[in-house]
Amino acid sequence: MTADRDSQLKHFETIAAFPANVTTYDDKLFDQEVEFLGGQKARQLFAEVANNIKPVAPAKGDHVARSIVLENALMEVLDEDKDIKTALAEAERLIKRRTRNL
Identify the pLDDT of residue 1: 59
Tens digit of pLDDT for each residue in 63-74?
A: 999 999 999 999
Rounded Cα distance between 84 and 2, Å, is 37
d(CA 54, CA 69): 24
Question: How many angstroms separate the CA atoms of 98 and 59, rounded?
Answer: 14
Domain boundaries, the chain: 5-52, 61-99
pLDDT band for position 47 (cuts 50, 70, 90): very high
Say yes or no to pLDDT of 2 above 90.
Answer: no
Would the pTM of this model clear 0.75, i.e. be above it? Answer: no
Q: How far is CA 39 from CA 15, 25, 26, 42, 87, in A?
A: 19, 19, 19, 8, 40
Cβ-contact 61, 99 below 8 angstroms:
yes
Checking if the pLDDT of 98 tops 90, the result is yes
- State the average pLDDT for the chain: 94
The share of the chain scoring above pLDDT 90, in percent, equals 95
Report the distance separating Cα 70 and Cα 85, nearest Å: 15
Give the whole-angstrom CA distance, residue 12 versus residue 4: 12
Q: What percent of the chain has pLDDT over 70?
A: 99
